[in-house]
């Protein structure tokens, strides 16, 4: 099969300018590409390392078309780019993954309906457009359940737990009465993710099952390989690869999965590199970001082989509450790698960077990153 190859020396355009774009850009420049970024912000994590940073609204479709005309291929670093923006870009440039995939994954109800229609296992869910439909959904699905905004949610935002049907009105008000989806609360034992890269020629690689721990809906710790039954890990990989083929992915896809007893349920899709895959930068022959570059440019995919067991711990803005973190103290452990994202304002809950470590076992890698994060606090040194 013949497909278009964008060779090193060409220019890649990125819609979005956060930390995912930053790490993608570093990988792209290592391979010899130039990178232009487009977002409503200036001096961004991506813009600091890109060749060109264009600060415009995503709704400025003429600016989007002009931007697309200046690059050889386009991709995106987060799925909440408006569908009209992706469509305008596609008028002037090759866009990978396709904007149609954005349309599905940026809306929880469309995403869950797509998965169910194609036979992938998901928790029971129902559409909600007001209090009457919410009560009807609760009568069918039962409580406890989780009410989520249908669009534009991430890191636990736009969600409300409903312990009893009596809490329906308050939950709906807490998410602003927006179009929503009600999902059964799943008694999962583990949360895992599988990151798959699929090239323009249909070739695929995966990073196996990665185990994730969240706090307040925000990813806190990831480790690989996941400490689950190998049979379930293999099933998770099969699920993720199947979904990547179904959506005709050209790029990177993260499939978040709940482990419930001996079964798997797909939770969410992210059609780009994912926070849980940051450990691949240090742990694998080819990181998830380099795979994205290779896939969207039509190059052969790289090896996803892992050097050693690995773990990654997020660094949130909370760490700066009592002053500048103690970087030297954390890096006193030679196994540690520090990645900071160039964000100027360390707000509470904001992802500012991450720590990663490789070790002989997963448990040792987890312990290393957690211990290093603990000594980062200025209070630790008092």
Which CATH number fits the domain that encloses residue 69?
3.40.50.20
Q: What is each CA distance from 236 to 114, 181, 229, 266, in whole angstroms? A: 18, 24, 11, 9
Quote the distance between the C-alpha of residue 86 and its chain's center: 18
Residue 249 Cα distances to 197, 209, 242, angstroms = 8, 19, 10
pLDDT at 95: 96
- Alpha-carbon span 379 to 325, nearest angstrom: 9
Residue 365 Cα to chain centre, angstroms: 22
- 74 is a domain residue: yes
Residues 137 and 224 in one domain: no
- Whether 283 shows a pLDDT value over 90: the answer reads yes
If asked whether residues 155 and 199 sit together in one domain, one would say no
Q: Which of 49, 80, 95 is the last residue of a domain?
A: 95
Tens-place pLDDT, residues 245-277: 999 999 999 999 999 989 999 999 999 999 999
Q: What is the pLDDT of residue 1?
A: 44
Q: Are residues 198 and 77 in the same domain?
A: no
Alpha-carbon separation of residue 218 from 221, 314, 355 (angstroms): 9, 9, 16
- Among candidates 12, 16, 365, 64, which has minimal Cα distance to 210? 365
- pLDDT for the residue numbered 150: 87
> Is the domain of 178 the same as that of 275?
no
Q: Is residue 104 one of the residues assigned to a domain? A: no
Cβ count within 10 A of residue 84? 13
CATH code (residue 325): 3.30.470.20
- Which CATH number does the domain housing residue 139 bear? 3.30.1490.20
Distance of alpha carbon 60 from the chain centroid: 25
Question: pLDDT tens digits, residue range 294-353?
Answer: 999 999 999 999 999 999 999 999 999 999 999 999 999 999 999 999 999 999 999 999
End-of-domain residue from the set 95, 116, 144: 95
Residues 328 and 372 reside in one and the same domain: yes
User: Are 133 and 204 members of one domain?
Assistant: no
Q: What Å distances lie between residue 189 and 80, 215, 259, 294, 317, CA to CA?
A: 29, 15, 6, 35, 28
Give domain status of residue 113, yes or no.
no
Looking at the DSSP assignment, which residues form a beta bridge with residue 149? 180
Tens of pLDDT, residues 209-248: 999 999 988 999 999 999 999 999 999 999 999 999 999 9
What's residue 2's pLDDT? 53
How many C-beta atoms lie closer than 10 Å to residue 81's C-beta?
Answer: 20
pLDDT at 372 > cutoff 50: yes
pLDDT above 70 covers a percentage of the chain that reads 97
Residue with tokens 């149609």, as numbered in its chain? 100
Q: How would residue 155 be classed by pLDDT, with cut points 50, 70 and 90? A: low
144 upstream amide cis, omega within 30 of 0: yes
Closest CA to 224 of 263, 287, 265, 279: 279
Residue 60 neighbours by CB under 8 Å, 6+ apart: none
Q: What are phi and psi of 107, to 5 degrees?
A: -135, 110
Classify residue 117: in a domain, yes or no: no
φ/ψ (deg, to 5) at 14: -120, 125
Q: Is residue 102 part of a domain?
A: no
Q: Is the peptide bond before 269 cis (omega within 30 degrees of 0)?
A: no
Q: pLDDT at position 177, please?
A: 74
Residue 108 domain-assigned (yes or no): no
Reported as a single tens digit per residue, the pLDDT across 15-71 is: 999 999 999 999 999 999 999 999 999 999 999 999 999 999 999 999 999 999 999
How many other CB atoms are found less than 10 A from the CB of residue 128?
Answer: 28
Q: What is the pLDDT of residues 85-141, one digit of tens each?
A: 999 999 999 999 998 898 899 899 999 999 999 999 999 999 998 889 999 999 999
**Does one domain contain both 351 and 327?**
yes
* Amino acid 381: pLDDT: 57
Q: Identify the domain containing residue 160 by its residue range.
A: 124-184
How far apart are the two ends of the chain, measured CA to CA in Å?
A: 63
299 token code pair:
């190059």
On whether the CB atoms of residues 242 and 267 are closer than 8 A, the answer is no
Buried b / exposed e over 199-220, threshold 16 CB at 10 Å, is bbeeebbbbbbbbbeeeeebbb
Block residue for tokens 């570059």:
293
229, 348: one domain: yes
Confidence at residue 15, expressed as pLDDT on a 0 to 100 scale: 97
């Amino acid at each position: 099969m013949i497909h278009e190859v964008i060779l090193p020396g060409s220019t890649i355009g990125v819609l979005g300018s956060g930390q995912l774009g930053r790490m993608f850009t570093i990988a792209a420049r290592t391979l010899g590409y130039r990178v232009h970024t487009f977002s409503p912000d200036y001096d961004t994590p991506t813009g600091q390392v890109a060749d060109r940073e264009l600060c415009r609204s995503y709704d400025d479709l003429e600016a989007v078309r002009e931007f697309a005309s200046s690059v050889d291929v386009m991709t995106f670093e987060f799925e909440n780019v408006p569908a009209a923006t992706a469509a305008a870009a596609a008028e002037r440039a090759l866009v990978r993954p396709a904007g149609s995939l954005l349309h599905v994954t940026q809306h929880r109800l469309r995403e869950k309906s797509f998965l169910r229609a194609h036979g992938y296992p998901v928790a029971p869910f129902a559409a909600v457009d007001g209090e009457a439909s919410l009560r009807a959904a609760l009568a069918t699905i039962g409580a406890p359940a989780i009410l989520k905004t249908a669009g534009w949610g991430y890191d636990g935002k736009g969600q409300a737990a409903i312990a009893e049907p009596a809490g329906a009105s308050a939950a709906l008000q807490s998410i602003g009465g927006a179009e929503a989806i009600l999902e059964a609360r799943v008694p999962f034992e583990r949360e895992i993710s599988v990151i798959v890269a699929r090239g323009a020629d249909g070739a695929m690689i995966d990073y196996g099952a990665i185990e994730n721990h969240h706090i307040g809906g925000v990813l806190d710790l990831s480790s690989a390989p996941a400490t689950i039954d190998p049979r379930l890990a293999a099933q998770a990989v099969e699920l993720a690869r199947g979904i990547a083929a179904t959506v005709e992915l050209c790029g990177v896809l993260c499939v978040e999965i709940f482990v419930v007893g001996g079964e798997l349920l797909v939770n969410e899709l992210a059609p780009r590199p994912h926070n849980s895959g940051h450990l691949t930068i240090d742990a694998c022959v080819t990181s998830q970001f380099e795979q994205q570059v290779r896939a969207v440019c039509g190059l052969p995919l790289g090896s996803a082989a892992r050097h050693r067991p690995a773990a990654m711990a997020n660094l949130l803005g909370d760490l700066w509450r009592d002053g500048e973190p103690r970087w030297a103290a954390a890096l006193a452990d030679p196994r540690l790698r520090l990645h900071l994202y160039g964000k100027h304002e360390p707000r509470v809950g904001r992802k500012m960077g991450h720590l990663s470590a490789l070790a002989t076992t997963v448990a040792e890698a987890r312990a290393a990153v957690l211990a290093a994060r603990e000594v980062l606090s200025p209070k630790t040194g008092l």
